[in-house]
Protein backbone atom coordinates (compact mmCIF):
# COMPACT_ATOMS: atom_id res chain seq x y z
CA UNK A 1 0.00 0.00 0.00
CA UNK A 2 2.67 2.46 1.07
CA UNK A 3 4.86 1.37 -1.79
CA UNK A 4 2.09 2.06 -4.30
CA UNK A 5 1.48 5.47 -2.76
CA UNK A 6 5.15 6.34 -3.02
CA UNK A 7 5.26 5.20 -6.62
CA UNK A 8 2.33 7.37 -7.61
CA UNK A 9 3.81 10.29 -5.70
CA UNK A 10 7.11 10.13 -7.53
CA UNK A 11 5.23 9.83 -10.82
CA UNK A 12 3.28 12.93 -9.91
CA UNK A 13 6.45 14.82 -9.11
CA UNK A 14 8.01 13.81 -12.40
CA UNK A 15 4.88 14.89 -14.25
CA UNK A 16 4.94 18.28 -12.58
CA UNK A 17 8.59 18.79 -13.29
CA UNK A 18 8.05 17.74 -16.90
CA UNK A 19 5.62 20.55 -17.53
CA UNK A 20 7.66 23.27 -15.95
CA UNK A 21 7.44 26.24 -18.27
CA UNK A 22 10.50 27.41 -20.15
CA UNK A 23 12.39 24.08 -20.12
CA UNK A 24 11.43 22.44 -23.41
CA UNK A 25 8.57 22.46 -25.95
CA UNK A 26 5.29 21.17 -24.49
CA UNK A 27 2.51 19.50 -26.49
CA UNK A 28 -1.23 19.93 -25.94
CA UNK A 29 -1.56 16.14 -25.53
CA UNK A 30 0.96 16.17 -22.68
CA UNK A 31 -0.98 18.87 -20.87
CA UNK A 32 -4.20 16.84 -21.14
CA UNK A 33 -2.39 13.68 -19.98
CA UNK A 34 -0.76 15.32 -16.96
CA UNK A 35 -4.04 16.98 -15.96
CA UNK A 36 -5.79 13.62 -16.22
CA UNK A 37 -3.13 11.92 -14.10
CA UNK A 38 -3.36 14.61 -11.43
CA UNK A 39 -7.13 14.28 -11.48
CA UNK A 40 -6.94 10.51 -10.97
CA UNK A 41 -4.59 11.06 -8.02
CA UNK A 42 -6.90 13.57 -6.44
CA UNK A 43 -10.07 11.52 -6.97
CA UNK A 44 -9.32 9.20 -4.05
CA UNK A 45 -12.71 7.43 -4.01
CA UNK A 46 -12.70 7.12 -7.83
CA UNK A 47 -16.24 8.44 -8.27
CA UNK A 48 -15.25 10.57 -11.25
CA UNK A 49 -15.15 13.92 -9.50
CA UNK A 50 -12.88 15.69 -7.04
CA UNK A 51 -14.58 16.90 -3.88
CA UNK A 52 -13.24 19.79 -1.75
CA UNK A 53 -12.02 17.19 0.79
CA UNK A 54 -10.15 15.21 -1.84
CA UNK A 55 -8.58 18.40 -3.12
CA UNK A 56 -7.53 19.37 0.42
CA UNK A 57 -5.89 16.00 1.00
CA UNK A 58 -4.02 16.21 -2.30
CA UNK A 59 -2.75 19.67 -1.39
CA UNK A 60 -1.44 18.38 1.96
CA UNK A 61 0.50 15.62 0.24
CA UNK A 62 1.73 18.01 -2.44
CA UNK A 63 2.84 20.60 0.11
CA UNK A 64 4.93 17.97 1.89
CA UNK A 65 7.10 17.69 -1.21
CA UNK A 66 9.97 20.13 -1.44
CA UNK A 67 10.17 20.83 -5.16
CA UNK A 68 6.84 21.67 -6.73
CA UNK A 69 6.41 22.26 -10.41
CA UNK A 70 4.98 25.52 -11.66
CA UNK A 71 3.21 26.42 -14.81
CA UNK A 72 0.33 25.03 -16.83
CA UNK A 73 -0.59 22.14 -14.56
CA UNK A 74 0.33 23.64 -11.20
CA UNK A 75 -2.25 22.82 -8.53
CA UNK A 76 -2.35 25.88 -6.32
CA UNK A 77 -4.55 26.88 -3.41
CA UNK A 78 -7.22 28.36 -5.67
CA UNK A 79 -7.21 25.42 -8.10
CA UNK A 80 -10.56 24.07 -6.95
CA UNK A 81 -12.45 27.36 -7.27
CA UNK A 82 -10.87 28.14 -10.63
CA UNK A 83 -11.69 24.71 -12.04
CA UNK A 84 -15.25 24.29 -10.77
CA UNK A 85 -16.67 26.44 -13.54
CA UNK A 86 -20.25 25.15 -13.28
CA UNK A 87 -20.20 25.75 -9.51
CA UNK A 88 -21.62 22.37 -8.47
CA UNK A 89 -19.06 21.99 -5.67
CA UNK A 90 -16.95 19.33 -7.36
CA UNK A 91 -14.44 19.24 -10.16
CA UNK A 92 -15.02 16.86 -13.07
CA UNK A 93 -12.24 15.57 -15.31
CA UNK A 94 -13.24 17.90 -18.14
CA UNK A 95 -13.25 20.86 -15.75
CA UNK A 96 -9.83 19.82 -14.45
CA UNK A 97 -8.46 19.64 -18.00
CA UNK A 98 -10.15 22.79 -19.28
CA UNK A 99 -8.00 25.19 -17.30
CA UNK A 100 -4.49 23.96 -18.19
CA UNK A 101 -5.62 23.42 -21.80
CA UNK A 102 -6.98 26.95 -21.90
CA UNK A 103 -3.65 28.26 -20.65
CA UNK A 104 -1.88 26.09 -23.20
CA UNK A 105 -4.03 27.45 -26.06
CA UNK A 106 -3.18 30.92 -24.91
CA UNK A 107 0.51 30.06 -25.10
CA UNK A 108 0.29 28.18 -28.43
CA UNK A 109 0.06 31.31 -30.53
CA UNK A 110 0.38 29.60 -33.94
CA UNK A 111 -2.01 26.77 -32.95
CA UNK A 112 0.20 23.88 -34.01
CA UNK A 113 -0.42 21.94 -30.79
CA UNK A 114 3.07 22.61 -29.45
CA UNK A 115 4.04 25.42 -27.13
CA UNK A 116 7.57 26.26 -28.23
CA UNK A 117 10.07 27.77 -25.80
CA UNK A 118 9.55 31.25 -27.20
CA UNK A 119 5.77 30.89 -27.03
CA UNK A 120 6.15 29.74 -23.43
CA UNK A 121 8.32 32.67 -22.45
CA UNK A 122 5.62 35.01 -23.70
CA UNK A 123 2.94 33.00 -21.90
CA UNK A 124 4.88 33.14 -18.63
CA UNK A 125 4.20 36.86 -18.54
CA UNK A 126 0.49 36.06 -18.25
CA UNK A 127 0.39 32.82 -16.28
CA UNK A 128 1.26 32.86 -12.54
CA1 LIG B 1 -14.02 11.77 -5.87
CA1 LIG C 1 -18.02 21.28 -11.32
Q: What is the 61 CA–ligand 2 centroid distance (Å)?
A: 23
Q: What is the 110 CA–ligand 2 centroid distance (Å)?
A: 30
In the chain, where the domains are located: 2-123
pLDDT band for position 12 (cuts 50, 70, 90): very low
Proximal ligand: closest to the CA of 58 = 1
pLDDT digits (tens, 9 = 90+) for 44-102: 999 999 999 999 999 998 877 655 556 788 888 899 999 999 999 999 999 999 999 99
pLDDT recorded at residue 49:
98
Question: What is the domain class of 2-123 according to CATH?
Answer: mainly alpha
| Residue of 83, 87, 91, 74 lying closest to 127 (CA atoms) | 74
pLDDT recorded at residue 11:
46
Proximal ligand: closest to the CA of 55 = 1
pLDDT band for position 27 (cuts 50, 70, 90): very high
Angstrom distance (rounded) from CA 8 to CA 95: 22
Amino acid sequence: MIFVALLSLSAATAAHAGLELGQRPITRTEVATVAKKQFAEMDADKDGSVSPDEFQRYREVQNAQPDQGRGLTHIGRSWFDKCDTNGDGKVSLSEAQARPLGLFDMADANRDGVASLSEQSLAMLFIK
